[in-house]
């Protein structure tokens, strides 16, 4: 693998590969963390809004039973 990269990219292959690995890692991390945070916030907000709705109304929460 290293020989193949050295053949294709020259003697500085390792620097090029590491650059693209950091590109994928940093941008991938940024995208993943954004989606995970959004999903978490959505889940918590839905749960809280349901709890808030049932605390305000006379209706019983299905979770209360």
Partner 1 sequence: MRNFFKTLQTLSNPTRFSALATKIVPWLAGATAIFFGVGLYGAWFSAPSDYQQGETIRILYIHVPAAWSALFIYASMGMAALGTLIWRHPLADVVQQVLAPIGAAFTLLCLITGALWGKPMWGAYWVWDARLTSVFILFLMYCSLIALWRVIDNPIMAARPVSILTLLGLVNLPIIKFSVDWWNTLHQPASVLRLQGPAIHSSQLWPLLVMGAAFLLLTLTLQLINIRTELMQRRIRTLHLLQAQGDKA
Residues found near partner 1 in the complex (CB under 8 A): 8-10, 12-13, 15-16, 18-20, 22-23, 26-27, 29-31, 34-35, 37-38, 41-42, 44-45, 48-49, 51-52, 55
* Cα 50 to Cα 62: distance, rounded to the nearest angstrom: 10
Query: What size, in residues, is the chain?
Result: 65
Residue 19 Cβ, how far from partner 1 at the closest point, in Å? 5
CB 61 within 8 A of CB 51: yes
Nearer to partner 1, 10 or 62 (CB): 10
CB of 65 to partner 1, least distance (A): 21
């Amino acid at each position: 693998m290293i020989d193949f990269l050295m053949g294709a990219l020259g003697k500085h292959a390792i620097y090029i590969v590491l650059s693209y690995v950091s590109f994928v890692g940093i941008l991938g991390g940024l995208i993943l963390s954004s989606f995970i945070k959004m999903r978490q916030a959505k889940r918590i907000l839905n749960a809280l809004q349901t709890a808030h709705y049932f605390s305000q109304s006379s209706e019983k929460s299905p979770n209360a039973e």
